[in-house]
Structure 1
Amino acid sequence: MYRFLLTPRWLGILALTLVAAAVMVLLGNWQLDRYRGRTAINERIDAGERMAPVPLRDAVPAPSGGAGTAGPAPADDATWTRVTATGRYDTANVVLVRGRTVDNRVGFEVVTPLLLADGTAVLVDQGWVPPAPGGAMAQPQLPPVPQGEVTVVGRVHPTESGGGAVDRRAGRLETRRIAVSRLAGELPYPVHGAYVLLDEQTPATDPLFQAVPIGHTNNWQNFGYVVQWWLFAAMTLFGYGWVARREARRMAGLDEPRKSIDRAAEPTPVTPTTVTPTTPA
């Protein structure tokens, strides 16, 4: 019954089916890797909330280049680690990161370099502030930052991708993304390859700064894609088998009796009889 599967036409259909199913399985495996990676990030975020802070250098390598350069990025398992560092803020190079949303309000995140004792610096995201009256792009009035020595505690945040242009407006740097390497080029000292998302500070930070929440990645979306692609692969193979079986039954004539029964069950059409009227004599 199934010898027709060895014909060039059906062998070609089989090859296309297997290739399509294999591609779908590979796409499912790719989404599975993304699910595992995002799950690991969420686990590090949760662990960072519970851990005691460690010195900055234990998580982020020190920069070794000259002024205007960024150091190496931290290892993946060091991101979101809770760290502490002591230095003084460089208020002459405050960075305003525009277009940032907190609690459904658009404003600015304020990133200030913290100068360390060895002459390097680490960027510290002090928090979110609303824009000045006049629109979401109006530069805010910033509260004063502590003068002198400051100790910060926060989470190691990896550099953001992209970044776009870094402009200087009204004496402040302004950008759209916290791209450490791009911002480092605007600063007169080497900078660590990640920034610190502030949790607490001594002396205390101004209450106008609102803490930037750390959002977990949507790893379950990737898991849904895994199930979707693998299900599509199974449906593709099932569809090939179903079509092949139907063709085999057709070639074997197994569907003919059913068609004959169906035709026998159809009512016989009635031919209308024409009555010719008679003319009275």
Structure 2
Amino acid sequence: MVFHFNWKLTLFTLLMLPLLVYLGFWQLAREQEKRATQDSYDLRATEAPRALADINWQSADELAWLRVEAAGQYDNTRQFLLDNRINQSRVGYELITPFRTDSGLLLVNRGWVAQGADRQTLPDVTVMDDETVIRGTVYVPGGDILVLGDEEPVGRNPWPRVVQSLDITRMSALLGEPVLPYSLRLETGSPGLQQVNWQPVTLSPETHRAYAVQWFFMAVVLVILYLIFSFRRPEI
């Protein structure tokens, strides 16, 4: 067998091989991140809820998945519908309702509600307006805010307001008053809860490991193909 140098094949391999290996290790790193997130969630789930007045809102790392208990009152007149939420293959919204407390205005994620017959028909989002006590976990989003579309135009009655992202700053501006920096996802049994439509990780750690194996496999195949096409039998 004689090695025949093909500069195009060599260049392609030199460019693609590091990329495939990088993607494999990147998926392994994502696997570890997801395991850490899941472990943190599981640990926090065993802790007793903290009173809202005792929360230090400055440290995002300490707040993630923290169980909180709050007393206050839902605001029926101004609610948000977080668009493009899928639940069991059905399109709908996550319902975000302001909850007025002695510690400030808290945005509460009450879970998933189905979309109406069309985009113009919004779901009924009323909730009790009496004083009540709720429990939930603090949601600290990771990375940049994902925006899936344009904001809906405001009509004569802009509430409930359809929004494309859980942007606390923008939602505070729409409400015209300051809100606490992170939202609360209701626990099962809390007043006002609709359908739970969230989990601590969107892709399981095992899924990221499977992706990593695929990238590493493609890297091995690339090397094998390079060798096959580079070595030839000598001409007699």
TM over 0.5: yes
Residues 28-82 of structure 1, C-alpha deviations (whole Å, 9 max, x = no match): 12222222223333333433433322344776616xxxxxxxxxx823x642232
The CA deviation at 1:99 is 4.7
Question: d(CA) in 1 for partners of 2:80 and 2:97?
Answer: 6
1:173-184 to 2 correspondences below 5 Å: 173-177=160-164, 178-184=166-172
One of 37, 45, 49 as aligned partner of 1:53: 49
Partner of 1:162: 147
Question: d(CA) in 2 for partners of 1:239 and 1:18?
Answer: 13
Question: d(CA) in 1 for partners of 2:174 and 2:227?
Answer: 63
Partner of 2:224: 238
The CA deviation at 1:168 is 4.8
Match status 1:224 vs 2:207: no
The CA deviation at 1:230 is 1.2
CA contact (8 A) 1:25 1:229 kept: yes
Closer/same/farther in 2, CA of residues 13 and 99 from structure 1, 3 Å limit:
closer
Sequence identity percentage: 24
Partner of 1:90: 75
What residue identity is the alignment partner of 2:159? R
Q: Tell me the C-alpha RMSD between the 2 structures.
A: 3.3
Question: How many residues in Structure 1 have an aligned counterpart in Structure 2?
Answer: 228
What residue identity is the alignment partner of 1:233? A
Question: d(CA) in 2 for partners of 1:10 and 1:98?
Answer: 52
Partner of 2:20: 24
Match status 1:147 vs 2:130: yes
User: For structure 2, which runs of at least 5 residues remain unmatched after alignment?
Assistant: none
CA contact (8 A) 2:63 2:140 kept: no
CA contact (8 A) 2:76 2:127 kept: no
User: For structure 1, which runs of at least 5 residues remain unmatched after alignment?
Assistant: 63-72, 254-281
Closer/same/farther in 2, CA of residues 147 and 35 from structure 1, 3 Å limit:
same
One of 181, 194, 198 as aligned partner of 1:193: 181
The CA deviation at 1:157 is 2.0
Question: d(CA) in 1 for partners of 2:8 and 2:123?
Answer: 66
> Helix, strand or coil for the counterpart of 1:250?
coil
Closer/same/farther in 2, CA of residues 147 and 218 from structure 1, 3 Å limit:
same
Scaled by the length of structure 1, the TM-score of the pair is 0.65
The CA deviation at 1:142 is 3.7
> Helix, strand or coil for the counterpart of 1:121?
strand
CA contact (8 A) 1:95 1:110 kept: yes
Q: Flag the structure with more relative contact order, 1 or 2, with Cα contacts below 8 A and sequence separation at least 6.
A: 2
Partner of 2:65: 80
The CA deviation at 1:198 is 0.8
> Helix, strand or coil for the counterpart of 1:33?
helix
What residue identity is the alignment partner of 2:196? V
Question: d(CA) in 2 for partners of 1:57 and 1:238?
Answer: 62
What residue identity is the alignment partner of 1:180? I
Partner of 1:210: 194
Match status 1:123 vs 2:123: no
The CA deviation at 1:104 is 4.5
CA contact (8 A) 1:93 1:172 kept: yes
Closer/same/farther in 2, CA of residues 121 and 97 from structure 1, 3 Å limit:
same
